[in-house]
Amino acid sequence: MPWSRPLTPPDVTSSSVAWVLEDGYQEGVTSTEPDGVAECFDKCARVRGRRARPGSVRGVSKALLDLLDRQRFAGRTVLEVGCGLGGLTLASASRGAEHATGVDLSPVAIREASRLAAEAGLADRVTFAVGDGSRMDLPPHDVVVLDKVICCYPDADALLDNSLRATRLTYGFVVPFSSGWRGAAARAGFVMENATRRVSRQPFRAFVHDVERIEARIAEAGLTRVAAAGRFPWYLAVYVRGA
């Protein structure tokens, strides 16, 4: 059963920011062969784009959306880093965001997201752009969202720092658990997924980062956690400024 309740930060014994499933922790790296990774996401976007519905958000993404909506979307600007097909971006606009922006490494995902925005009649209130959220210039937005994106980067610090600089009010994210039985299970799952990618010669790898270190970095940026929940194997949290 999914559970949703206030959490204390997970207990973590690892001293590194990431428990990496490929060749150790790669400090200072923002992506593994960005062009190749984008191609992997392009293939996924082509398949998912055929059956996607405008603003469709399910599972853990829907749970994050609802937590963020408690802090209010209405009248605010939203930035989703790693937006994929733009489901959460479009959903935030549907819930009253003044303007929503989505960025993603995949040109195909951005093309499909733009198509879905037009189909939903939201093209005038959303913007989609191709880019690496850890490197590109991210203009300030009221709400910044990273839904299952941090785990796509071997170096979480660059992505966190860049996205936190763009956060005016609210910051929400989803990452895999990194400690306890949930963390062990998440690592096991990621090991199997990465093994499959290695066999199929895909350059993309997923990473289980130290949640305690992630949350400490967010707190250092001046934000306070106001909500947290879990939907195995994912941990969700929402932070705000001036809480």
Q: Which pLDDT value is given to residue 73?
A: 95
Q: Which pLDDT value is given to residue 233?
A: 92
Instruction: Supply the pTM of this predicted model.
Output: 0.82
> Cα 157 vs. chain centroid, distance in angstroms?
14
- For residues 12-24, give the mean pLDDT: 32
Question: What confidence tens digit (pLDDT) does each residue in 108-167 have?
Answer: 999 999 999 999 999 999 999 999 999 999 999 999 999 999 998 888 999 999 999 999
Higher pLDDT, 46 or 16: 46
Q: Which pLDDT value is given to residue 28?
A: 31
- For residues 217-239, give the mean pLDDT: 96
* Exposed/middle/buried for residue 7 (C-beta within 10 Å: 0-12, 13-18, 19+): middle
Position 8 pLDDT exceeds 60: no
Position 215 pLDDT exceeds 80: yes
- Count of beta carbons in the 10 Å neighbourhood of residue 229: 21
The full set of domains in the chain, from first to last, is 18-241 (3.40.50.150)
